[in-house]
Amino acid sequence: MQILYQDEYLVAVAKPSGMFVHRSDADRTAASVVVQLLRNQLGQIIYPVHRLDRATSGVLLLARSSNAAAACGLMFSERRVRKTYCALVRGYCEANGQIDAPLISSRGRDQPADHPWAVPQQASTSYRTLRQFEVPITLGQYSTTRSSLVEAHPQTGRYHQIRRHFNYVSHPVIGDTSHGDGRHNRWYREHFGAERLMLAAVRLEFDHPITGTACDIHCPTAGSFTTVIRQLEKFRVPVSAD
């Protein structure tokens, strides 16, 4: 695993897209998971303290002891961590925006509507548009195909929050097979080789829960994510507020 930060309490790594953080019933055949690989790499037990979806790449924080894990868990639950993501989404987003839409938790997805877990929970995501692209190829009813590269900051930590929020405002993340637009996913895969979810966790900022030191951990987009954006660059247009 590529290590982005480590001290005697914490370690942060760059999680690849397509890799689980730990063993999951979603795929018991997965050969590699972050926790196992990092445990072997460091020669010690490692404790994940937050989640990244299998399809999402980027900075992942883990603890090197149960006490540090508990301190980190409290830090995340009290929302003392600023999380920054980059995503390629369908259409033109506004230059800046705020999405406030309650979401059902992962535990409530298969529960009846009157079950306590099925009650939507408050969820907020702010964003700003970094770049916009317009490809002169017809897709559906539009003569061109538009997309936006956005920087998103979730203020809450709900299940698939960024993916569900951008789909809620009709700007689904490219490559999202759960909440996205299948036609656009296929189009970006065929034209730009977008074989993955175009969502990456690029930064974590927090005060160290043990030492109090300010931590600012970066994980720039790389690999296939960067390759897709690089190809889109020749179709870049000025950011519109529409």
pLDDT tens-digit series, residues 9-55: 999 999 999 999 987 655 556 568 999 999 999 999 999 999 899 99
Sorted by where each begins, the domain ranges of the chain are 2-237
- CA-CA distance, 65 to 46, in Å (whole number)? 7
Catalytically annotated residue among 7, 25, 27, 53: 53
- CA-CA distance, 221 to 192, in Å (whole number)? 16
**88 — pLDDT class (breaks 50, 70, 90):** very high
In terms of CATH, what superfamily is 2-237?
Pseudouridine synthase (3.30.2350.10)
Could you give the residue ranges of the DSSP H alpha helices within the chain?
34-42, 66-77, 161-168, 182-192, 223-232
Global pTM reads: 0.91
**What is the predicted pLDDT for the residue at 93?**
95
- CA-CA distance, 109 to 105, in Å (whole number)? 7
pLDDT at 112 over 70: no
Q: Is 114 a catalytic residue?
A: no
Q: Cα angle vertex 69, ends 64, 74, to 5°?
A: 155
pLDDT tens-digit series, residues 194-241: 999 999 999 999 999 999 999 999 999 989 999 999 999 999 999 976
